[in-house]
Amino acid sequence: MKYFDADFFNDSKLREMEDGAIEFNVPAFRDNRKLVALENGGLHNPSALVFKSSWNGESKISKRKSLDYPITSSVHRPSKDEDIAFMSIMELGELIRTKQVTSRELTDVFLRRLKRYSPVIKSVITVTDDLAYKQAKEADDLLEQGKYLGLLHGIPYGLKDIIAVPEYKTTWGSKTFENQVLDIEAYVYKRLKSTGAVLVAKLVTGSLAYDDIWFGGRTRNPWNIEEFSTGSSAGPAASTSAGMVPFAIGSETAGSITYPAARCGVTALRPTFGTVARTGVMSISESLDKLGPFCRSAIDCAVVLDEIRGKDAGDPSSREVDIEDPFHVDITQLTVGYLDSAEMEVVNVLSAKGVKLVPFKLNYTVESVQSILNITMDVDMLAHFDNWQREGLDNVYEAQDQWPVELRRARLIPAVEYLQAQRARGKLIREVKESFTVDAFIGNATDWELVCLGNLVGMPVAVVPTGFKSIEDPPKSGTRRRTTITTGIYAPPDHDHIALALAMAYQSVTDHHKQRPPIDDLGSDNDV
């Protein structure tokens, strides 16, 4: 009992507890596991305990409103495929709409890049050639018939390989599930298919959505290929950074969007919890998991979020969120805080754009933020991979110091302590809500305390590239490799539009997000 921090029972009580456990508890445990735990991954039988992140209760959405996108005009097709590969969704969409390029041609460009760079960057699990060409033809045929479905019509993209697509492997990045094919069409894939977007690849997830190690190796950072990408949305971040896809969908439970986006220097959005339904997606934690876009810009993130958001019956935590239009936000009416960790260039740029910037700090008394996150995530994950552990499959897991260790430890977290952690989480949320006296705040996107807090609360954050610095110990002959600098723009739950509007304002007068990694020319770095 000491491992449960409950070694206060005398011997007679312990014998009584043992008898009761044998007679009542263990049979109930086994009955419940037979009902819901024989399949791994948490794809079915979601928990009846549902976390809602909204601070304003449930709002009734009478009619879904689309965003009022800015008009993109005078876009001309570049002569080089390299230049096409780094165009934004808005630009590519205009090329498609005006028939300067076909979806088939775009698909060819990105399939070639996926096959060329993936062997080095190790960011792709499955290239979906046949499906891509089929969807590209459908998009081109519709346009010939005068039917244009919107900005994602004919645009190639990639999905993190925890997202199920029928007839293709969904490996979860694990050698145990390397040949798994799920007859499930994930909600987010359905949404993107309905927009006319073209799936070109299932991208790397760290094994069982933990870090950047998977059964095929370890995903690298295109800006510095001696480094690894970090975070389990490694494939979406690295592939977007390298111009292998215009955008990709990743996921976050605790840092898996923010960390790889920051490392690989791409713009990304971790949306408010519940904004995008997770039906058909491998689950770590039903109260923490979120799906979000990796893109070239904050505008592109807004475009993708607008298309993938929504509620689905298969995900009880999902909500039909009435997202306000980030393109109509008057940023001069906003008060934005900045933490000590904020990149001051962002503060200065937004101040020059008319935003009121003030020093800020989130005040809360809960000191166990990181342990609350770990208890919640690990117990939930173990519930979804109970059978995996019981069958000893953790023994062949790719990184033995990761899930195997954490989930063995999770066996020793009693239900009462899990619930105490959720009560402490509730206290944290109330204190953060009371302390959130600004419209948004700017801070480090990868500070672990802030990553844990943001995910426990369910708040959105836009990750924004803000510059570059020299790599550590560069070769004497010089190098084009760089370390990326990023920042996070955080907003209260259901205020993703504020984070996006501020990110768009910053990117309207800077070009860090438009820079291209040196994947073809490292300089004289011939040993790399």
Residue type, 148: Y
User: Tell me, what's the pLDDT at 59?
Assistant: 55
How high is the mean pLDDT in each 10-residue block of the chain (528 residues)?
95 97 97 96 95 80 75 91 97 97 98 96 98 98 97 98 98 98 97 98 98 97 95 98 98 98 98 98 98 98 97 96 92 98 97 98 97 98 98 96 97 97 98 98 98 98 97 87 96 97 98 94 66
Task: Report d(CA 45, CA 36) in Å as an integer.
Answer: 6
Alpha carbon distance 349, 335 (integer Å): 14
Measure CA 117 to chain center. 22
The residue with tokens 């934690």 is 285
Helical pair 344-352 and 496-507, crossing angle rounded to 10 deg: 90
Angle at 417 between CA 412 and CA 418, to 5 degrees: 90
> Cβ(494)–Cβ(321) under 8 Å?
yes
Q: Going by C-beta distance under 8 Å and a sequence separation of 6 or more, which residues neighbour residue 265?
A: 223, 241, 465, 468, 484, 486, 512, 515, 517
Tell me which residue has tokens 């799906």.
291
pLDDT of residue 73: 80
Is residue 160 part of the annotated active site? The answer reads yes
Residue tagged active-site, from 207, 241, 256, 318: 256
What does the pLDDT read at residue 521? 76
Query: Residue 270 is inside which H or E element, if any?
Result: strand 267-270
State the greatest distance between any 2 C-alpha atoms of the chain, in Å, as a whole number: 83
Which residues fall within 8 angstroms of residue 420, CB to CB, at 6 or more apart? Answer: none
**Total length of the chain:** 528
**pLDDT score recorded for residue 429:** 98
Check 232, 241, 283, 318 and give the catalytic one.
232
332, 355 Cβ separation under 8 angstroms: yes
pLDDT of residue 525: 62
Residue of 122, 160, 169, 290 marked catalytic: 160
H helix and E strand count, the chain: 17, 15
Query: Is 232 considered catalytic here?
Result: yes
* The pLDDT of residue 308: 97
The pTM (predicted TM-score) of the whole model is: 0.97
Q: What is the pLDDT at residue 57?
A: 74
